[in-house]
Amino acid sequence: MSLKNKAGSPPLRWPAEAVWEEVAPLLPGFTVEVLPQVDSSNSELMRRARDGQREPVLLVAEQQTAGRGRLGRAWNSGVQPGDLLMFSLGLPLERKDWSGLSLAVGLSLAESLHPEVRLKWPNDLWWQDRKLAGVLIEALDLRYAVIGVGLNISERVSQGASDMRTPPAWAREINPGWDAPAVLSRLALPLVRTVLRFQEQGFAPVRASWLARDAFTGRAVRLSDGTEGMAQGVDERGALLVHTSTGLKTIDSAEVSVRPMPG
Query: Reading across the β-sheet that carries 57-61, which strands appear in turn?
Result: 3-5, 31-35, 57-61, 84-92, 144-152, 130-140, 124-127, 118-120
Task: Using alpha carbons, list the distances in angstroms from residue 30 to 20, 22, 184.
Answer: 7, 10, 16
Q: Active-site positions? A: 70, 131, 259
> Cα–Cα–Cα angle for 220, 224, 229, nearest 5°?
25
> Cα–Cα–Cα angle for 232, 233, 237, nearest 5°?
130
Helix boundaries (H) for the chain: 16-23, 41-50, 101-113, 171-174, 180-201, 207-212
